Structures are given as structure tokens and as C-alpha cells.
Amino acid sequence: MLALEAERERLRLAEENQHLTQRLERDRPAVEFHDEVAVAESEFLLRVAAKTLFNGERNAEARLVHWLLDHRWLTRTGRAREATAYAVQRGYMRQRIDVVRGRAYSVAVLTAQGLVLLRHLYRSGELFTARIDAGQLLPAARDEAPEG
């Protein structure tokens, strides 16, 4: 009896090990992407981030900006875009100064952490679905978002 129970346990553990190995292989690309981006500590222009997320899809930047505005990571004043306090405090976005032809511009950029989160949402099919409610994704967004 003991030998039979030991063999059953060995088979169960072997099956569980195979399942875990398959999960690791399936999740490897996401982990590698996260590690590469997270250690970069870079800032990504929205145009570049959209190309990265959506593999150069048409209207990718417009879709991303619309999502960022809807979820209160970004505000727009005229043509200028600014990262919200919510997104900055959580490390998803930053405001940086770029100088072009002697003029300084304030530019909203995604951080590595923000890009990793957006990629996760995109790959899980949750980025552009109506299922995501701003309160669910950004619990304090209503309190911290600017009026208007």
C-alpha cells in the first residue's frame, strides 16, 4: 500500500511540475519584457510607447492618448498634455522638459512602470474594453483628478 501511495504521489508531483513548467514557458516573454523595460528606467514618449505596445498599429497614439485621458493619467489643456498627479505619484508617468530649436517644452512621458502596466492590460485584453472602470483601475482617480 505504501509503495502504491508513493507512486501516486510521485505521478501527481510530476504532473504538477509539468504544468508549472508550461506556465513558466508561456509567461517567459512577459517576464523578459518587464525585466528589460523596468531596468531601463527610461521615459517613453507617447508616440514611441504606442508603437511599442501596438506593434505599429494605425492610430495607435490616438488610441493610447484617449485611454490615458479617460483613465485620468493625462490631462489636456489646448494642445498641451500633462501627466496627472495620480499618474506621477504612482510612477506611471512623468513630465519632462525637452528643448527644440531653443524653445523649452513640457512633455508628458510614460515611465517603464507605466509601460509595463499598459502592456499587461493590453495583452490580457483589458486595455480598451468597456469592462475596465476608472474606479476599478484607479481607485483614487476621482478624488485626485482635476475638475473639468
What percent of the chain has a predicted confidence (pLDDT) above 90?
A: 16
CA pseudo-torsion sign 105, 111, 117, 118:
positive
CA distance 17 to 30: 21
Same domain, 32 and 6: yes
Whether 115 and 71 map to the same domain: the answer is: yes
Position 148 confidence tier, pLDDT thresholds 50, 70, 90: very low
Same domain, 46 and 26: no
Specify the number of domains making up the chain.
2
Are both 139 and 86 inside the same structural domain? Answer: yes
The CA distances from residue 116 to 49, 87, 113, 140, 142, in Å, are 10, 14, 5, 20, 23
Q: What's the pLDDT at 131? A: 44
> When comparing pLDDT for 87 and 121, which is higher?
87
Residues in the chain: 148
Q: Which domain holds residue 33?
A: 1-40
Q: Is 47 found in the same domain as 26?
A: no
Tell me: pLDDT of 41 over 70. no
At 26 the pLDDT is 83
24 in the same domain as 71: no
Say yes or no: 104 and 115 in one domain: yes
- Reply yes or no on whether the pLDDT at 1 is more than 70: yes
Same domain, yes or no, for 36 and 46? Answer: no
Q: How confident is the model at residue 141 (pLDDT cuts 50, 70, 90)?
A: very low
Regarding whether 89 and 132 lie in a shared domain, the answer is yes
Alpha helix stretches (DSSP H) within 1-148: 2-40, 46-54, 60-70, 85-89, 112-123, 134-137, 141-144
* 3-class DSSP state of 31: helix
**Same domain, yes or no, for 5 and 69?**
no
